[in-house]
Amino acid sequence: MRFSLYERILRPALFALDPETAHHFALFCLRFPGFRSLLSQPAGSPKARRVFGLKFPNPVGLAAGFDKNAVALPAWEALGFGFVEAGTITSLGQPGNPRPRIFRIPEKEALINRLGFNNDGAKRVAERLRALKASGRWPRIPVGLNIGKAKVTPVEEAPADYLFSFEKLFPYADYFVLNVSSPNTPGLRMLQHAKALDELLDAVQSSNFSQSLPKPVLVKIAPDLDFPQIEEILDVALRRRVAGIVATNTTVDQSAIAESQRREGGLSGAPLRAKSTAIVRFVASKVSLPIIAAGGIRDADSAREKLDAGASLLQIYTGFIYRGPALINEIRAIQG
């Protein structure tokens, strides 16, 4: 196996740091074109695809959670991604949960995180996006914005909370994802229940469809749901004209790792592969909605598995941390 510059040199250096420190350092470096050019991979010739009305130059996207505050959007196009999803962004800025809150499990190519939607808040992110637009450096790839509930907002007030972020960020998103499935915000997963999800989507979609050009709105679901629960979500999604499903978020099931390595939070990476693929396949068997697949994508085989299961697009996060930009081109090559 030929290891990339990232895997030979940069990853060992980053892995010598605390995971969150390494994350912030990488984001800082990616703001500089010279650093990005060191990591850029030779581009293949992937086939562009049109999904929920948007053109994606390739199907490989950066999952939400990496660029929470949209501070490095031009970097992701430069590295070869076909789209990027920034966030999760909440109505109010919040620090998230106490550190340490990211844990590596290298032998499993996995992570556990309990970040808790740490972000600058919708107003500040909107200001940042407005400045980026004005600078002429806005990326040519689709930019999705992932929004969630502020920790201090009661679950029953979630529709108004999401609506605030949606309307504040509306001018800057090519598509939106409603994150109702993170395990790290108390009560958030209750929004996956049919009645609560219906009320949330009613609020957001009423605003959306009042616009002259509505935006695609997707829902991100947990891998810990059973199939009847997913069917209820899909019924609501169809009724509220949702544009697609993101499957899946992190899992609270940590049975795939040693007991000594388990922590409070969501597990991502290779151990999530089979569970995520099963949910993608189930969703695809029930509805014709586009699916963005995330969970355990670490090489061409795991990417092809998701596409064969019915995914239209793919997102990587933990695999990107372990494999670096070489993973993007490896997946793009299967589409060439």
What does the alpha-carbon distance between residue 28 and residue 26 come to, in Å, rounded to a whole number?
5
Output DSSP code: residue 62: E
**Could you tell me which residues come within 8 angstroms of residue 301 by beta carbon, excluding any fewer than 6 positions away?**
none
Q: Is the dihedral of CA 68, 128, 186, 275 positive or negative?
A: negative
Active site positions, annotated: 182
Q: Which two tokens stand for residue 329?
A: 């081109």
Pairing of strands 54-56, 60-62: unpaired
Q: Give the count of alpha carbons within 13 A of 183, CB side only.
A: 21
| Pairing of β 110-113 and β 266-269 | antiparallel
β-pair partners for 178: 147, 219
Angle of helix 300-309 versus helix 326-333 axis, rounded to 10? 50
Calculate Rg over the CA atoms of the chain: 18
Continuous segment of H or E residues that includes residue 327: helix 326-333
